[in-house]
Structure 1
Amino acid sequence: MVNLHHNPAGVRLRRAVDPPFRTYLVAFVSALALLWAVATPVQATTAISPEVKDASSILGGRVVPFGGMPATVRSGEFISVAAGLRHYLALRADGSIVAWGDNRYGQTDVPAELTGETVIAVAAGDWYSLALTANGQVTAWGDDSAGQIDVPQSLATTSVVAVAAGEAHSLALTSDGHVIAWGSQTETPPALTGRTVTAVAAGGDHSMALLDSGEIVSWGWIVDGIADVAETLGGKTITAVAAGVDHSLVLTSDGEVMAWGSDAKGQSSVPPSLEHVTISGIAASGDHSLVLTSDGDVIAWGDNDYGQTAVPAGLNGSHVSVIAAGPRGSMALSSAGKLTAWGADFNGQADVPASLAGKTVTAISAAYFHSLALTSDGKVHAWGSDFAGQTDVPESLDGKEVSAIAAGGWFSLALTSDGKVIAWGAKGGPQIDVPASLDGKIVTAIAAGEDHSLAVTMDGKVTTWGYGVAGDNAVPPAELADESVVAVAAGQDFSLALTTDGRVLSWGDSAANLEVPGSLTGKTVIAIAAGDLHALALTSDGHVTAWGADNFGQTDVPTSLNATAVNSVAAGASSSYALTSDGRVTAWGANQFGQTDGTDGIQGKFVTAVSGGAYHALAIVADGLQTPAIQAATLASGQVGTAYDSPLVVSGTPQPTLAITAGQLPPGLALTPDRRIVGTPTNAGTYAFTVTATNVLDSASAGFTISIDPATIPPIRPPGQPSAGGGSDKAGGTPTQPGNNSGNVVKATARVTAKLKRKTVTTRTRAHVIIRVQTKNATRPTGTITVKVGKKKVTKRLRVKNNGRLTIMLPKLRKGGYRITTKFSGSRTAKAASAKKSLKLRVVKAKPKAR
């Protein structure tokens, strides 16, 4: 696993070489509706339901983020903070520590020995942590590759008053003004002998000590004069020191900030605007610098690759009292102890923008540093880091209706309602170079990985583009050539495809370790998701299967899901999510930033969609839901042989599913999706029955009664007596007898039309027959459609939700001419019928594939 980093040259957004914890791909959330519509086998049922499978496809709502920062940190109050490379420490007034972020070396596992101790200071190195207790003792934990957490035994009997942590070395200041060092630096300079030190700072590979005389001593790896006291300090009294990885920062007694060392990112170029500002505090780390003004404002300069110098707009004016800098991020505490953080892990990707207020969001996509949302008006909203242009929604989308979104490593994709893909971000990299081969084609699904993109076209074929790493974006495997794909998902260096018959295929750099498990053989998969190095599949029976990397437990599917109907799945970098039919989210896997347990904002809410990023996640919450209600009644009476139509009074949001749960309807009548009882009664009598209305919130039942009167019987005439219209019954005629009220079901006449999508296909492609069934009574017909081509037959069920329309894909055929016939089986309310005209199909030999 690897990490995304900014490439200043803009040549290629790839990976850096620091310890592994990579960013996230995002699997596209909105494909769920397509999966339900195309891939979900519909089970036979007596219930009448809306035309969509799950509430997520009919409900929008508002975006609720979770993760990005643990809930205990968001709501907590603190007196001090510290930032490492990818982990963070916060100190409460009671002396307890909250730690979060990357924990690969145990740097956020606060030692049990600190339980009950009062901690008065914390410090964070790149991959380790330090704590100083009120009794002057130092505790260290995390990475020990350079001995940086091996606290010297000499400190056990010494009272320490301050600590500092560099990349891989630690400093302690004792109560008698001495400095002790350990880790990658163990020596202190002779210049400190006999001097009293009042403060220390640790940088990348250098250290600083502030003497009680107001002078400073600096030592360590001298690069660009880092460890050399700046010549311009002559005669000035220093009151505070701070150290970045390659630069140094001091505050003088007259409030002046001075810096020296590397200035590659402008970190040593003190802004002129500080000349007339009173400074009360300084901080430095990595390649950036911070100052705190006397009126509680924060000013930052230097490296902004991760947004670490982009001070949040609402921060200044909140009376900041404490600042801290990490290699890639910055932190501030207000006078009330509330934490604000910005930079690599805090680019605002979990801060829902005001532009979404009052909007209905229908789809979401969470990436590493940014997030996307699609509103009901087809507009795309983007927020979070924009250093690669990934949140600059292009003007080319103006006036277009977007139907799907996907957020990748440093780029974004949008699919318009006319099937076109628009891509932006990645500093113009190949991830956004939509292939010309898609011109003129209709794209039905998209997915964005770390560095590659996927698209599915209407003919079920997959197109890939972006950076080619061991095949992750190469032409899909040969076994896909003859498959029809309905959905795709993109991981760090691998891709997944879901076929129309519910099988999953995997390919790419990580495919060897992500081979689709045998447990899915013979099962119908209806949804897929891809994380960093793990994958998820949802089968038609509502079960979740996970495989791949499990270093954070991301493939340990909770047993609690076994008894729950799962509607959709999503994958974060190293986390997994399942959305159940009752609108609840179950999350497991990595939790460094509360991305799997920081779900307080969605507890008790009905969630319609979820998307996982690297360190945060997004959910769509549907507000304004209403439990079902159904009004009991004695319905209008009917008569045998006479059309009947009576509405039911039913309410609820989303629209409830209706089912007859007790008793029976009069024969000939049926319950329809639009809450009506319709048909033509065939038997007289009084019928009592119960209708149950169910939606995602609850169920409600009510009893009903319908009386059906016998058909009107004409008077009996003696044989030979003229009828009212003249003439007479012929000998042997049998008049209608009383009591013969059974009658026959009056079926509507059906009309079947069929046409070919293409009249000529090749031996390598499959023809599509588009069929429409209409009935004179305007009800939505149901039944079986049979298409016969040559000696082959293809049968497909026509359901209420199809609204009389079906498309049937024929099998591959040999070269030649074929005649196609189409038949409708009819149903209880509609007569059987056939298309009046047969279709003519021509199959030509396919050209050999180019080698």
Structure 2
Amino acid sequence: GEREITPFTPLAALDLSLGTCIQVVWLSSSAAGRGRCVSRAFAAIKANGSAVTWGGAHYGGDSSAVAPLLTEGVVQVFGTAHAFAAIKANGSVVTWGTAHYGGDSSAVAPLLTEGVVQVCGTDHAFAAIKANGSVVTWGSAADGGNSSAVAPLLTEGVVQVCATLGAFAAIKANGSVVTWGDAADGGNSSAVAPLLTEGVVQVFGTAHAFAAIKANGSVVTWGDADYGGDSSAVAPLLTEGVVQVCGTAGAFAAIKANGSVVTWGSAADGGNSPAVAPLLTEGVVQVCGTAGDFAAIKANGSVVTWGDAADGGNSSAVTPLLTEDVVQVCGTLGAFAAIKANGSVVTWGKAHWGGDSSVVAALLNEGVVQIS
């Protein structure tokens, strides 16, 4: 049968009979969770490799134009704000949705027939990495869909692409970084170009800024200063020892090798952590973000939260359940869910974004091994 589901549909309301397996992709770009959320279309990958879509036609909910290509072999689906791109088992890509926002890839179709291994999206454009290390882009030129200015640098050697809402950053095998797209969103990295010629191992994004970890443990930032692009206030703490960076819509949090955490960017989005600073000086092993706040797991299994109280930055309602044994934390746009060692789940934050799990509480008391 069929039924409509939304981000607010409780799992208990779904009839998932034995043998039925679906993966639902809620339309969102790679910058989702960092300031934009669109709940107007879905794409579901079924166990047989087919894809089913529904929701707003102009947002990718109508895939009838490419339906014959989605009957089998689909392995991954990615989204911009108004379109989807599916990678098939043969390495080809199928796109649909609003044409100028990534739904129409006809201009680069010959390059998407085979060999694609990763797709990443801004709000209105896609970038695909091929097995030969080249990058193919399409969609809104202003949001990264036109990479002609850096095309010679994207013909080989690209190993990772990261996005903000309007720009892409690609890491090459030699450790250099190439950026393009909206300059205000990090597409222009000229101010830090000398620091991005070698040694970069990872790049992360907020809505409008990037942060790169280098092999020596230092961090380089660029993009909108108010969204994490300016880390000068904490620069002395980012010269070495950084092992992980996580972003919200407007702030970054970096874990250092000594277990301490450094934050910068929009205070409202978790960039200012003085209220919990004494708890972040050591022992932190993981940091996860929603749109406006962070949650850190410590080595003793406790959880520390900060940022926008409404989005999960205030976990006081479940504090007794977060003092020990937490092994994983996952965030939506406005809520967190934590798995404990006994397989139970604790949730907090905005109720309609998953912070209230009371409807399925009986199913979350034990046996949970992963949340995504």
For 1:158, the equivalent position in structure 2 comes to: 114
For 1:187, the equivalent position in structure 2 comes to: 146
Distance 1:141 1:190 in 2: 25
1:258 to 213, 220, 242: 220
Q: 1:147 to 1:356 in 2, by over 3 A?
A: closer
Q: 1:269 to 1:597 in 2, by over 3 A?
A: closer
For 2:312, the equivalent position in structure 1 comes to: 348
Whether contact under 8 Å (2:284, 2:296) holds in the other structure is: no
Whether contact under 8 Å (2:118, 2:128) holds in the other structure is: yes
For 1:277, the equivalent position in structure 2 comes to: 241
Q: 1:95 to 1:110 in 2, by over 3 A?
A: farther
Q: CA deviation at 1:287?
A: 2.9
1:215 to 176, 197, 217: 176
User: Could you list the per-position Cα deviations for residues 16-62 of structure 1 after superposition, in whole angstroms to 9, with x for gaps in the alignment?
Assistant: xxxxxxxxxxxxxxxxxxxxxxxxxxxxxxxxxxxxxxxxxxxxxxx
Equivalent positions of 1:613-624 (< 5 A) are none
Distance 1:349 1:176 in 2: 42
For 2:91, the equivalent position in structure 1 comes to: 136
State yes or no: 1:169 paired with 2:125: yes
- Matching residue's letter, 2:217: G
Whether contact under 8 Å (1:311, 1:342) holds in the other structure is: no
Q: 1:167 to 1:289 in 2, by over 3 A?
A: farther
2:252 to 264, 284, 289: 289
More strand by share: 1
Q: CA deviation at 1:220?
A: 2.6
For 2:265, the equivalent position in structure 1 comes to: 302
State yes or no: 1:149 paired with 2:116: no
Q: CA deviation at 1:307?
A: 5.0
For 1:268, the equivalent position in structure 2 comes to: 230
- Matching residue's letter, 1:146: H
For 1:178, the equivalent position in structure 2 comes to: 134
Q: How many residues are aligned here?
A: 289
Q: CA deviation at 1:600?
A: 2.2
Distance 2:294 2:62 in 1: 22
- Matching residue's letter, 2:119: V
- Matching residue's letter, 2:120: A
Whether contact under 8 Å (1:169, 1:202) holds in the other structure is: no
Secondary structure at the aligned position of 1:146 is classed as helix
Q: 1:269 to 1:318 in 2, by over 3 A?
A: closer
Secondary structure at the aligned position of 2:211 is classed as strand
User: Could you list the per-position Cα deviations for residues 55-78 of structure 1 after superposition, in whole angstroms to 9, with x for gaps in the alignment?
Assistant: xxxxxxxxxxxx989658xxxxx9
- Matching residue's letter, 1:157: T
Whether contact under 8 Å (1:260, 1:268) holds in the other structure is: yes
Q: 1:162 to 1:168 in 2, by over 3 A?
A: same
2:37 to 81, 86, 100: 86
Q: CA deviation at 1:149?
A: 3.0
Secondary structure at the aligned position of 1:204 is classed as coil
Secondary structure at the aligned position of 1:207 is classed as strand
Q: Percent identity?
A: 22
- Matching residue's letter, 2:250: D
Whether contact under 8 Å (1:131, 1:139) holds in the other structure is: yes
- Matching residue's letter, 1:187: N
Q: CA deviation at 1:256?
A: 1.1
Distance 1:201 1:349 in 2: 25
Secondary structure at the aligned position of 1:599 is classed as helix
Distance 2:221 2:60 in 1: 32
Distance 2:60 2:187 in 1: 30
Secondary structure at the aligned position of 2:175 is classed as coil
For 1:734, the equivalent position in structure 2 comes to: none
Distance 1:334 1:141 in 2: 42
User: Could you list the per-position Cα deviations for residues 697-716 of structure 1 after superposition, in whole angstroms to 9, with x for gaps in the alignment?
Assistant: xxxxxxxxxxxxxxxxxxxx
Q: 1:139 to 1:300 in 2, by over 3 A?
A: farther
Whether contact under 8 Å (1:207, 1:243) holds in the other structure is: no
Distance 1:192 1:346 in 2: 43
User: Could you list the per-position Cα deviations for residues 326-384 of structure 1 after superposition, in whole angstroms to 9, with x for gaps in the alignment?
Assistant: 7656689999xxxx999779623996715899xxxxxxxxxxx89xxxxxxxxxxxx96
Distance 1:106 1:342 in 2: 37
Q: 1:291 to 1:211 in 2, by over 3 A?
A: same
Q: CA deviation at 1:174?
A: 0.7
- Matching residue's letter, 2:91: G
Q: CA deviation at 1:206?
A: 2.6
Is there any run of 5+ residues in structure 1 with no aligned partner, and where?
Answer: 1-66, 73-77, 97-102, 358-368, 371-382, 386-571, 573-591, 604-851
For 1:465, the equivalent position in structure 2 comes to: none
- Matching residue's letter, 2:203: V
For 1:600, the equivalent position in structure 2 comes to: 360
- Matching residue's letter, 2:163: A
Secondary structure at the aligned position of 1:250 is classed as strand
Q: 1:596 to 1:294 in 2, by over 3 A?
A: closer
Q: 1:203 to 1:600 in 2, by over 3 A?
A: closer
Secondary structure at the aligned position of 1:173 is classed as strand
For 1:238, the equivalent position in structure 2 comes to: 200
Secondary structure at the aligned position of 2:110 is classed as helix
Equivalent positions of 1:628-647 (< 5 A) are none
Secondary structure at the aligned position of 2:128 is classed as strand
Secondary structure at the aligned position of 1:268 is classed as coil
Distance 1:166 1:594 in 2: 24
Whether contact under 8 Å (1:208, 1:219) holds in the other structure is: yes
Whether contact under 8 Å (1:83, 1:326) holds in the other structure is: no
- Matching residue's letter, 2:214: T
Secondary structure at the aligned position of 1:177 is classed as coil
Q: 1:216 to 1:234 in 2, by over 3 A?
A: closer
Secondary structure at the aligned position of 1:260 is classed as strand
Q: 1:329 to 1:306 in 2, by over 3 A?
A: same
Distance 2:271 2:71 in 1: 33
Q: 1:193 to 1:167 in 2, by over 3 A?
A: closer
Whether contact under 8 Å (1:308, 1:330) holds in the other structure is: no
Secondary structure at the aligned position of 1:227 is classed as coil
Secondary structure at the aligned position of 1:191 is classed as helix
Distance 2:307 2:48 in 1: 27
Structure having greater relative contact order (Cα 8 Å, sep ≥ 6): 1
Whether contact under 8 Å (2:305, 2:315) holds in the other structure is: no
Q: CA deviation at 1:273?
A: 2.9
Distance 2:258 2:70 in 1: 35
Q: 1:343 to 1:86 in 2, by over 3 A?
A: farther
Distance 1:224 1:108 in 2: 24
Is there any run of 5+ residues in structure 2 with no aligned partner, and where?
Answer: 1-6, 13-22, 50-54, 322-333, 336-347, 364-372
Question: What is the TM-score with the length of structure 2 in the denominator?
Answer: 0.55
When the two chains are superposed, the root-mean-square deviation of aligned CA atoms in Å is 5.6
Distance 2:104 2:312 in 1: 36
Distance 1:141 1:356 in 2: 47
Distance 2:84 2:296 in 1: 19
Q: CA deviation at 1:171?
A: 0.6
Distance 2:242 2:311 in 1: 28
Whether contact under 8 Å (1:70, 1:594) holds in the other structure is: no
